[in-house]
Structure 1
Amino acid sequence: MPAAAAPVMSAPEVSAYLDEVFPQIKSNGDNISVRDVAAGTALVRLEADDKHLRPGGTVSGPTLFMLADLAAYAVILAHIGRVALAVTTNLNINFLMKPEPGPLDATATILKLGKRLVVTDIAIRDSGGELVAHATATYSIPPRN
Structure 2
Amino acid sequence: MTPNPAYVQALRESVRSAPYPNLIGMTIASLEFDRCRIDLELGEKHLQPFGIVHGGVLATLIDTATFWAGFMRLPEDAGLVNVDLKLNYLKAVVGGRLRVEGECLRAGRQISYTTASVYDAAGELVAHGTSTLMALPGKGLKLGVPKFL
TM-score (normalizing by structure 1) = 0.81
Q: Could you list the runs of 5+ residues in structure 1 that have no partner in the other structure?
A: 1-5
- Greater displacement, 30-39 / 90-99: 30-39
Distance 1:9 1:80, change over 3 A: farther
**Equivalent residues in 2 for 1:74-113, closer than 5 Å:** 74-80=68-74, 85-113=79-107
Distance 1:81 1:16, change over 3 A: farther
Tell me how far 1:34 sits from its aligned partner: 0.7
Contact 1:8 1:80 in 2 (8 A): no
Q: What is the aligned partner in structure 2 of residue 117 from structure 1?
A: 111
Tell me how far 1:25 sits from its aligned partner: 2.1
Q: What is the aligned partner in structure 2 of residue 25 from structure 1?
A: 20
The residue matched to 1:122 in structure 2 has which SS? strand
Identity among equivalent positions (%) equals 24
Aligned residues: 137
The match for 1:15 among 12, 35, 46 is: 12
Distance 1:25 1:79, change over 3 A: farther
Q: Could you list the runs of 5+ residues in structure 2 that have no partner in the other structure?
A: 140-149
- 1:81 and 1:16 map into 2 onto residues whose CA distance is 20
Amino acid paired to 2:26: I
The residue matched to 1:80 in structure 2 has which SS? coil
Amino acid paired to 1:18: V
Tell me how far 1:31 sits from its aligned partner: 2.0
User: What is the RMSD computed on CA atoms of the aligned residues?
Assistant: 2.4
Amino acid paired to 1:16: E
- 2:68 and 2:131 map into 1 onto residues whose CA distance is 12
Tell me how far 1:101 sits from its aligned partner: 1.6
Q: What is the aligned partner in structure 1 of residue 49 from structure 2?
A: 55
Q: Considering only CA atoms, is the larger Rg found in Structure 1 or Structure 2?
A: 2
Contact 2:33 2:72 in 1 (8 A): no
- 2:62 and 2:44 map into 1 onto residues whose CA distance is 19
- Greater displacement, 102-111 / 36-45: 36-45
